[in-house]
Amino acid sequence: MPLALYALTAGAFGIGVTEFVIMGLLLQVSADLHVSIAAAGLLISGYALGVVVGAPVLTVLTAKWPRKTILLALMAIFIAGNAACALAPTYGFLMAARVLTALAHGTFFGVGSVVATGLVADDRKASAIAVMFTGLTVANILGVPLRTWIGQHLGWRATFVAVTLTGLAAFAVIAALVPRDGAAPEASDWRADLAAILRVPVLLGLLTTVLGYAGVFAVFTYIAPMLTRISGFQEPAVAPILLVSGGGLVVGNLLGGRLADRGLLATVFGTLAVLALVLAAMTPGLPSPAAAVVLTGMLGAAGFATVAPLQMWVLSRVQGTSRSLASSFNIAAFNLGNAIGAWAGGMVIDHGPGLTFVPIVAAAFPLAAIGAAALAAGLNRSRRTNPITELNSHVR
């Protein structure tokens, strides 16, 4: 893999840290800014909303820019947003800064995915996407715990200072290593690009992503209470167990990319099916502490094994200038799935059969995703279009 690809990984690492680190700082933020924990939790929702809105909007606004310029501009937004978070005098200011930071998220991963596939041979495109997303997985394993520790010992503002410095480092690496576009940017008409994305096969691809990741976050959002209340672990044991999940994220992410390079359609179906099985197994398995640890690691692996295949799946639906917009929409779809999954899990806890049954209910989401992917594949066959051939013809 070329060094430029690891520059994208560095950017993904910084963005991954800022997305998730607030989860470990809710108590400090709520106390310092004199808001409830629930209000502090909305900082996570605000970020997700920023991703959903920012991904398509910024992609359209920067469509005629060289892709390296786009990536550097997005990292500049990321740096400014996190610096504003560190200096936020009020809760409203912090929320606005979080939303500003989130605007860079979807477009960075969307455009970055297109850049990553252009850096490698045709048979390594999914693996290239997986390498870039490794930054996101490493952020969960190392970056978030470290920044949380900084926040707990030096104050939550120090965490955002550290993330800002991470962004500066990522900016420098991208500037030094990512090559400039070899040709002038392709002429782009956002209306035509949007029309291409609103075709049924593309919408079904986006729906597949939403449903698949809703299943992951329906459980992952509530994994800590599951481990303590169902499996019987003490609270100090939760963090080490989540490290097991983090290891699974890395393994599953890279494995999903490699398998997708060998057979995209089979990998989409296979990873979603494995995810459904793991989720279904958690309801009977969580009462056993040993099984709970294994299943938590398997959830991380199965969940992130779907990322590169789903991103490639949507990229294979479109061509030309529409790729960046479609890719960004798919990142927004991941975040929409996160929000839906967290809401659905909460509904099962508050109004359904309870915490124990969240995983088995969550398994319905990836099963529905398989149905959406099967319908998209059927439409694809009816048009006699091979998604791999189409992608290889147009992705560069």
Q: How many angstroms separate the first and last alpha carbons of the chain? A: 16
The whole-number pLDDT of residue 38 equals: 62
The whole-number pLDDT of residue 260 equals: 86
Amino acid (1-letter code) at residue 87: L
Residues 6+ apart with CB under 8 A from 165: none
The whole-number pLDDT of residue 207 equals: 92
pTM (2 decimals)? 0.74
May I ask the CATH architecture of the domain 1-183?
Up-down Bundle (1.20)
Q: Over the stretch 301-326, which tens digit does the pLDDT of each residue have?
A: 998 888 888 888 887 777 665 677 78
May I ask the CATH architecture of the domain 186-396?
Up-down Bundle (1.20)
Listed by start position, the domains of the chain span: 1-183, 186-396
The whole-number pLDDT of residue 144 equals: 62
358-386 burial, b at 16+ Cβ within 10 Å, e below that, comes to bbbbbbbbbbbbbebbeebbeebeeeeee
Q: Over the stretch 56-94, which tens digit does the pLDDT of each residue have?
A: 888 788 877 888 888 899 999 999 999 999 999 999 999
Distance of CA 372 to the CA centre of its chain: 20
The whole-number pLDDT of residue 165 equals: 92
- Separation CA 332–CA 334 (nearest Å): 5
Token output for 2: 């070329």
Q: Judge whether 91 and 107 are in contact, CB under 8 Å.
A: no
- Separation CA 338–CA 50 (nearest Å): 13
For the chain, which residues score pLDDT lower than 70? 1, 23-24, 26, 37-38, 41, 140-145, 147-148, 181-189, 319-322, 380-396
The whole-number pLDDT of residue 385 equals: 47
66 phi-psi bin (left φ>0, alpha ψ -120 to 50, beta other)? beta
Amino acid (1-letter code) at residue 377: A
Closest CA to 178 of 68, 14, 15: 68
Q: Same fold for the domain at 1-183 and the one at 186-396?
A: yes
Q: Judge whether 324 and 59 are in contact, CB under 8 Å.
A: yes
